[in-house]
């Protein structure tokens, strides 16, 4: 008596073989991406590592010799640790300000914009229609000593009569905030736009206040966007040097300015490579710790 529910062994083996072949073809889809990473990330990183171990006594004219001089890293940290600290402080403040202003903006677009949603999203990304350099240069006009903003702040006695905005830490952080604001707003909007409005209505039906509903429902559901936005702002801000170069002075220089100068002006390649790898390693450790601390399953 047969029940007809268990396939014959030969049929089962054929199905398993077909599934195995599909999985094999699936791995081939990863080849283009892996080749891209190997050519444009792994190889340059290895080359940068080898460059960081050059003999520091070499020079651009006579060339450098690979002597596995690991002391380059200690020298880089000893001479520029203050630039690392300043970079992380500026990047952290700029990221916090972007979150403070970007979250209400993304919330308004996702929940209140209605038929104007697409238009407002275009306005968010409109700064990308011009170059990064041009956007930063425009802030020199906005923050100029005799500009309208400085005059207004002096009128309301927020800024001293001889005070200034340009060539200060405030100017550098303002430039970072402006340039990276879209990187915060867009991931936040993507997360908030996916929130099911029925969950918010259910919180109200259970006698939750609007603030409690936001704290218990909306914000936790938007947390992946918060994490993505903060990373997209903080990581590039740490290595930025344009804003400090154009809006600040050497007193506001970040580690990116030192790397740029060592590479392109001094041609001190071991120092520049060492600084680059140290910055990369610190950022990776901070990102991993941050993501694990937040604990969003979509990003871990």
**Rounded to an integer, what is the distance from CA 117 to the centroid of its chain?**
25
Dihedrals φ, ψ of 54, to 5°? -65, 160
Q: Is 209 left (phi over 0), alpha (psi -120 to 50) or beta?
A: beta
Confidence of residue 3 (pLDDT cuts 50, 70, 90): low
Query: What proportion of the chain, given as a percentage, has pLDDT over 70?
Result: 90
Give the residue from 238, 243, 241, 217 showing the smallest Cα distance to 290: 238
- The Cα–Cα gap between 185 and 125 comes to 9
DSSP alpha helices (H): ranges in the chain?
A: 9-28, 31-37, 43-52, 71-111, 117-125, 132-142, 148-155, 169-193, 197-205, 210-213, 219-221, 223-239, 242-247, 255-260, 269-294
In this predicted structure, what is the pLDDT of residue 206? 83
Q: Domains in the chain, start-ordered, CATH in brackets?
A: 49-294 (1.10.3720.10)
pLDDT (mean) for 233-258: 96
Q: pTM for the full model? A: 0.86
Reported as a single tens digit per residue, the pLDDT across 65-118 is: 899 999 999 999 999 999 999 999 999 999 999 999 999 999 999 999 888 999
In this predicted structure, what is the pLDDT of residue 299? 46
Reported as a single tens digit per residue, the pLDDT across 188-217 is: 999 999 998 888 889 888 878 888 989 999
């Amino acid at each position: 008596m047969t029940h007809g529910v268990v396939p014959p062994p030969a049929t089962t083996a054929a199905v398993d073989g077909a599934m195995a072949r599909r999985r094999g073809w699936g791995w081939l889809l990863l080849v283009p991406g892996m080749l891209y990473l190997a050519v444009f990330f792994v190889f340059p990183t290895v080359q940068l590592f080898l460059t960081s171990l050059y003999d520091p006594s070499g020079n651009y004219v006579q060339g450098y010799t690979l002597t596995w001089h690991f002391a380059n890293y200690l020298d880089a940290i000893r001479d520029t640790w203050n630039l690392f600290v300043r970079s992380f402080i500026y990047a952290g403040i700029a990221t916090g300000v972007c979150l403070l202003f970007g979250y209400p903006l993304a919330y308004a677009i996702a929940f209140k914009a209605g038929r104007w949603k697409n238009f407002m999203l275009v306005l968010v990304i409109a700064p990308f229609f011009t170059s990064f350099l041009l956007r930063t240069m425009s802030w020199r006009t906005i923050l100029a000593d005799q500009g309208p903003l400085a005059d207004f702040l002096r009128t309301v006695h927020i800024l001293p009569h001889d005070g200034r905005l340009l060539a200060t830490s405030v100017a550098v952080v303002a430039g970072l905030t402006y340039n990276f604001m879209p990187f915060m707003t867009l991931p936040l909007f993507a997360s908030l736009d996916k929130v099911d409005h029925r969950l918010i209505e259910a919180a109200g039906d259970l006698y939750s206040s609007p603030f409690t509903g936001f704290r218990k429902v909306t914000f936790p559901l938007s947390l992946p966007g918060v994490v993505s936005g903060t990373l997209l702002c903080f990581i590039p801000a740490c290595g930025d040097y344009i804003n400090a170069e154009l809006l600040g002075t050497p007193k506001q220089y970040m580690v990116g300015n030192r790397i740029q100068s060592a590479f392109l002006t001094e041609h001190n390649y071991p120092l520049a490579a060492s600084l680059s790898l140290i910055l990369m390693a610190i950022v990776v450790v901070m990102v991993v710790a941050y993501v694990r601390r937040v604990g969003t399953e979509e990003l871990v």
